């Protein structure tokens, strides 16, 4: 069974080929154009997807040594994401499936981040999490605690009520005059800093929900006050500020994850999404997991940020069930589970 998958929900154009359950290629074209604007510009993102999609798909097929005639289905991200970006991938997938006369499979991007844990990483000692497992899905647009009952049956048991944690990383970075996307740069500078140098307040949210908008405001006032007395405050303390911001965000995430594990009594715990590439989160989760007796699942870096391999994996589960999509499908920017 051979599936070509396409991901175009935000600012990465990606294509992957899955053969008999294994990922054989995963090509990702990033869009550097947004850096100069300090965030993703939707119109520029869709134009870049249009430029990248044909060469990215051709590379993915060539890398996997799979001719188009061998494909059994075309999968694509239907949502959530930016409408213009989703339209490029959706239209391309529909046209290709129609041309080859093969089925089309729609995939939910957030479910795919979770299902990246079913990709065999070829390390030899790989095994997927046991069902049911908990997945903390953290990206630029979402922060969700997901109870995964089966690959196609997931329940969101907690989520952010305002900003996503990736947004909190990126907006904090912007306040520190770091370029977009700032999350990876906060991670980089935090490695040399003291995480307890500057305590920032953590929002108290009921139950398993999160809130990250307050910390952004707290950082803004903190910097404003310190810059008044020392105009070089940011330059002189960059590593400590980054380490303190990262520590606060990671503690907020792990506090709720611990509570979710206690309430659901689930011991297989995973993280997914762009922010799961954060080294502070990865280390802290491993430490907490050892302390709590959890089995912890942390994706390989290339499966943390947006990629089509995870779309292909999610599509495999749908293919096995014969869950196909009609040619009348259109993108769904706010697609729910
Ligand atoms: O999943 P993703 O690639 O795209 C969305 O679906 O949103 O996530 C992108 C987010 C951005 O906010 C980016 O800053 C953040 O993931 N991110 C990180 C790191 N790598 C990516 N945040 C903190 N530390 C990192 N190492
Ligand atoms: Zn994503």
DSSP string, 184-250: HHHHHHHTTS-TTSS-------STT-B--HHHHHHHHHHHHHHHHH-TTHHHHHHHHHHHHHHHHHH
One fold for 2-116+305-321 and 130-299: yes
Which pLDDT does position 154 carry in this prediction?
A: 98
**Which atom of ligand 1 is nearest the CA belonging to 182?**
14
Q: Are 3 and 71 in contact (CB under 8 A)?
A: yes
pLDDT of res. 122: 82
Three-state DSSP at 304 gives coil
Q: Which residues make up each annotated binding site for Fe cation? A: 109, 113, 306
pLDDT at 8: 98
Alpha carbon of 264 to ligand 2 centroid (Å): 25
Tell whether ligand 1 has an atom less than 6 A from the beta carbon of residue 14. Answer: no
End-to-end Cα spacing for the chain: 26
Q: Which CATH code for domain 2-116+305-321? A: 3.30.420.40
CA of 138 to the centre of ligand 1 (A): 8
Task: Tell me the three state secondary structure of residue 120.
Answer: coil
pLDDT digits (tens, 9 = 90+) for 76-132: 999 999 999 999 999 999 999 999 999 999 999 999 999 999 999 888 889 999 999
Which ligand sits nearest to residue 172's alpha carbon?
1
Low-confidence ranges of the chain (pLDDT < 70): none
Looking at this predicted complex, what is its ipTM? 0.98
Cα(111)–Cα(239) distance, rounded to whole angstroms? 34
**CATH homologous superfamily for 130-299?**
ATPase, nucleotide binding domain (3.30.420.40)
Instruction: Report the alpha-carbon distance of residue 11 to residue 162 in Å, rounded.
Output: 22
Phi, psi of 302, rounded to the nearest 5 degrees? -70, -15
Expressed in angstroms and rounded, the spacing between residue 103 Cα and the centre of ligand 2 is 24
Question: How would DSSP label each residue in 123-153?
Answer: SSS--PPPSSEEEEEE-SS-EEEEEEEETTE
pTM over the 0.90 mark: yes
Q: Provide Rg for the chain, Cα atoms.
A: 20
Residue spans of the domains in the chain: they are: 2-116+305-321, 130-299
């Amino acid at each position: 069974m051979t599936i070509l998958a396409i991901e175009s929900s935000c600012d990465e154009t990606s294509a992957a080929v899955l053969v008999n359950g294994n990922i054989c290629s995963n090509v990702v074209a990033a869009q550097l154009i947004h850096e100069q604007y300090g965030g993703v510009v939707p119109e520029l993102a869709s134009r870049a997807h249009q430029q990248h999609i044909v060469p990215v798909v051709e590379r993915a097929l060539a890398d996997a040594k799979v001719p188009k005639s061998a494909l059994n289905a075309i999968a694509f991200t239907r949502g959530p994401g930016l409408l213009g970006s989703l339209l490029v991938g959706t239209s391309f997938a529909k046209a290709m499936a129609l041309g080859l006369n093969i089925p089309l499979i729609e995939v939910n991007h957030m479910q795919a981040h979770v299902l990246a844990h079913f990709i065999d990483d070829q390390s030899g000692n790989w095994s997927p999490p046991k069902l049911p497992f908990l997945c903390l899905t953290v990206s630029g647009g979402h922060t969700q605690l997901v109870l995964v009952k089966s690959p196609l049956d997931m329940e969101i048991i907690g989520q952010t009520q305002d900003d996503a944690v990736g947004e909190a990383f990126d907006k904090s970075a912007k306040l520190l005059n770091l370029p977009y996307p700032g999350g990876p740069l906060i991670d980089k500078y935090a490695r040399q800093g003291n995480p307890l140098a500057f305590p920032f307040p953590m929002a108290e949210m009921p139950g398993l929900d999160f809130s990250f908008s307050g910390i952004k405001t707290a950082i803004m006032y903190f910097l404003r006050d310190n810059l008044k007395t020392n105009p070089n405050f940011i330059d002189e303390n960059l590593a400590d500020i980054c380490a303190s911001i990262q520590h606060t965000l990671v503690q907020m995430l792990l506090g709720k994850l611990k509570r979710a594990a206690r309430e659901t009594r689930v011991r297989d715990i995973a993280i997914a999404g762009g922010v799961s590439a954060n080294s502070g989160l990865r280390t802290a989760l491993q430490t907490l997991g050892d302390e709590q007796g959890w089995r912890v699942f942390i994706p390989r870096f290339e499966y943390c940020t947006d990629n089509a391999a995870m779309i292909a994996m999610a599509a495999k589960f749908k293919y096995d069930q014969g869950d196909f999509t009609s040619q009348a499908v259109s993108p769904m920017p706010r697609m729910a589970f």
